[in-house]
Structure formats: structure tokens, C-alpha cells
Amino acid sequence: MVARIISGKSIRGLLNYNEAKVNSGEASLILANRFGTEIERLDFNNKLVRFEHLTKLNIKVKTNALHIMLNFDRSDKLDTLMFQQIASSYMDRIGMGEQPFLVYQHKDVSHPHIHIVTTNIKADGKRIDIHGLGRTLSETARKELEIEHNLIKAEGRNRSEAISIAPALIETAYYGKVPTKKAIYGIVAEVMRSYKFTSFVEYNAVLKQFNVIADRGREDTVMFQKHGLVYSIIDKDGNRVGIPFKASELATRPTLNNIEKRFERNAEKRKPYKEGLVKRIERVFSKYNSITKPTLLAELKNQGIALIFRQNDQGLVYGSTFIDHRSKSVFKGSDLGREYGAKAFLDRCGNMDRPKTYLKTSEQTKSYLEPITPTNYLKDLMESSNTEQLATVGQRKKKRKKYRGFSR
């Protein structure tokens, strides 16, 4: 079992993320602790009000939202009841069993896992200290639950599966849902902080994943010449909506100069993730003899990878950008290798999907594992003997003809 704790500033954002998964059929709410009613009667507003009632008791605490993910091995046999028991036991052992929390069972990836949403503000307004929680209480709880429920142990998997406090999830911006400036600021600040981009194009590619765009203006404008930058929310078609905001108006000052200062440092920070990204891309191709572009994009998305093709005004594809949302690393296609450039990559796509198929073991062994019986054994022996006799007669006739021909 692997536990991961994400601390954040927006309980609304965490709820939106999980509820969106429920609405799409990729998750279901399986437990609501200390909400005073049945799950079926809880709507989004009920959940949000319950949490915000606590967070408003201590407005000085900025990081007041927790998103806990408990991941299990594919071979672990778990049903809904066991998920509920494990979630409740885990929350008790990390000192949050008395807090209101929601447990969602997600089905968007192959391994079983649950998400827990809660707050660290108690009913008396005091804050539960989460500093070092992953290394102390959570780690102990994880090991104890593995033993109690006979789960596959996480230790020894040679990856960073020890509990960690990670950055908050980024909530995609939708115009009119929250104040425009607030939505833009939250996304830009988190992208600047956690994603490893090495060019303005890569930076913008990440922002567009969350419906935000950074605009320098046309090259003949004063804003472009003076390295100005404005941010806007975009709709699903990439059109700007709402009022744009200057970079200098946002608290973290994500100006062009400050963005460019990160390029060289990010180039070094992303290096360890290049090989793993390439392997996951090739894993998709290994499943197909022929794959179409839409299927390729969907398969990569399942691997946590966004692929963006850059086009000119005539619609000609001239570049590609890979965004690895797992490692928060961004690569231009050609930086991964010549075969990942836009043209070469598209050339690997076909006009139809043809998944690779393999013979079942029974089909592979059927021809030579047929049991030998007296009937088929004698039949085969007789057939093989007759064949040999016919072959011998044929050879004698040929020799005799040659001999007669020679005597003449």
C-alpha cells in the first residue's frame, strides 16, 4: 500500500476534482464521515459548506485542505467494504478520525486506489499540524494496515513511494466559475512552481492544459518589444474570454523576464525524467501494430502524458510538445529524440487501429500435446510407413529409367 498526502489551499478545488470524476463515471463516493446524513442525500453544496464551516473558524491558516491517496497493488483483492475499513483505520491512526472526510473510490487507472478529502481545521478552530505527517504517523499506519489486511507491501519497489507532502492539484479555469484574476493566479503560480519547462512555448503549453494562456501580443506591438505579458482565460476552442490581466498585476509577478530565468535551471531538473517518459510512450506503441492519432492521444493521456502538435496558419504541423503530468516535466519532441519530432511521430501513426494479438497458450500447444492413443499412433505409423514405401518405389523407378537410358 502506498499513501500520498497532498496539502493545499482550496477545499473547493479538491471537491471539484473528485466530483468531476464521479460525474464522468470514473469514481464513486463510498464513505462520508461526520456529515450527519446518508451519502445519497449529500450534494456538492452540502459537502462544501461542511468543510468551509471549519476552515472559516481559523482564517489565518492558508493550507487547510488535505487530499490523501491510498494506492494498492493490482494483486490486492479489495471490495468496497475493505476500502471503507482501511480508510477509517488510516484516518484514525494519523489523528484525523474525528474530522469530517469523504472517501472516493477511483477507477481511472488499472490499480485499485481511493482518494480522501478532508481539512486539518478542528471544530474548536485549532489547526492539526501536518508537518512531517508522511514520515511519522502515516508511515506507521501504512505498515500496520498492510499486515492487518494482508496487502502487498510497498517497501522494496525502488521508487519514491514513501509518503510525501505534495503540491495542490491545479483546478482548471472556467470563465464565470470563480473570479477571473483569482483563477488565473492560482494556475500560473502552481505551473511556475512545479512544472519544468524550458521555453515560452512549453510554458504556454502547460497553461493551456488548464484553460489559461500567456500572450505577448503581435511582434509589431509595443507590448511585445518591451517584453510585456498578459494572461487570459480561454474556452474549449482556445478563444480568449473575460478580462486579461498584466503579469505585473499578479502576486507572484510571472513576467516574461522571471519566466525566462527558469529555463536553464529547469533543463537540468527535467533530465532524470526523460528516459521514463520515453519508455511510457513506447509502451503505447508496443500495444499496436497500427495506431491512429486519436487513439494515440487517448492512450498517452491514460499514461499521464499530454501531446500537443503545433500548427501554422495553414494547418501544417511543424512541432510537438510532450507534457508529463506525473513528473511535471515538459519536452519538445525533438529533445526526446529524432523519432519524436512532429513529422516522424505522425509517420508512425496509421489509418486504423490494429492491436497486437497473441495466441493463447492452449492454441500454441494444441498441435503437439494431443494425447497419444493406440488408434492415432498406429494410424500415424501406417501413414508414415506407406509414405516411405512410396518414396522408395519412386526412387527405384527413377534409377531404373536412368540405367536403361545409359545401357542404350
pLDDT in tens, 295-305: 999 999 988 89
Q: What are the φ and ψ backbone dihedral angles of 360, each rounded to 5 degrees?
A: -70, 155
pLDDT-wise least confident of 62-71, 133-142, 201-210: 133-142
User: Quick one: CATH architecture of 2-166?
Assistant: 2-Layer Sandwich (3.30)
Q: Considering only CA atoms, which of 246, 318, 317, 329 is closest in space to residue 281?
A: 329
Asked if the model's pLDDT at residue 20 lies above 80, the reply is: yes
Q: Considering only CA atoms, which of 27, 5, 302 is closest in space to residue 161?
A: 5
Angle subtended by helix axes 293-302 and 274-285, to nearest 10: 130
pLDDT at 363: 45
Asked if the model's pLDDT at residue 56 lies above 50, the reply is: yes
- Residues 353-361 have a mean pLDDT of 68
Cell representation of residue 267: 533543463
Cell representation of residue 397: 523407378
b/e code 224-239 from CB counts within 10 Å (16+ = b): eeeebbbbbbbeeeee
pLDDT at 263: 95
- Going by C-beta distance under 8 Å and a sequence separation of 6 or more, which residues neighbour residue 72? 1, 2, 78, 111, 112, 113, 151, 152
pLDDT at 165: 36
Q: Supply the mean pLDDT for the chain.
A: 83
Domain range list for the chain: 2-166, 180-269, 271-355
d(CA 117, CA 34): 13
pLDDT tier at 372, thresholds 50, 70, 90:
very low
- Residues 72-99 have a mean pLDDT of 91
Q: 313 versus 11: which is more confidently predicted?
A: 11
Asked if the model's pLDDT at residue 261 lies above 60, the reply is: yes
Convert the pLDDT of each residue in 146-200 to its tens digit.
Answer: 988 888 887 644 333 333 334 446 788 999 888 899 899 989 998 998 899 999 9
pLDDT at 405: 46
- Residues 130-148 have a mean pLDDT of 86
Q: 26 versus 370: which is more confidently predicted?
A: 26
State the pairing for strand pair 212-215/27-33: unpaired
pLDDT at 187: 93
* Residue % of the chain over a pLDDT of 70: 84
Asked if the model's pLDDT at residue 374 lies above 70, the reply is: no
Cell representation of residue 399: 534409377
Q: Exposed/middle/buried for 203, CB within 10 Å: 0-12, 13-18, 19+?
A: buried
Phi-psi region of 311 (alpha: psi -120 to 50; beta: other; left: phi over 0): beta
Asked if the model's pLDDT at residue 371 lies above 80, the reply is: no
- Residues 96-116 have a mean pLDDT of 89
- Residues 250-275 have a mean pLDDT of 92
Helix or strand run (H / E) with residue 171 = none
Task: Report pTM.
Answer: 0.51
pLDDT-wise least confident of 20-34, 201-215, 253-267: 20-34
pLDDT at 358: 56
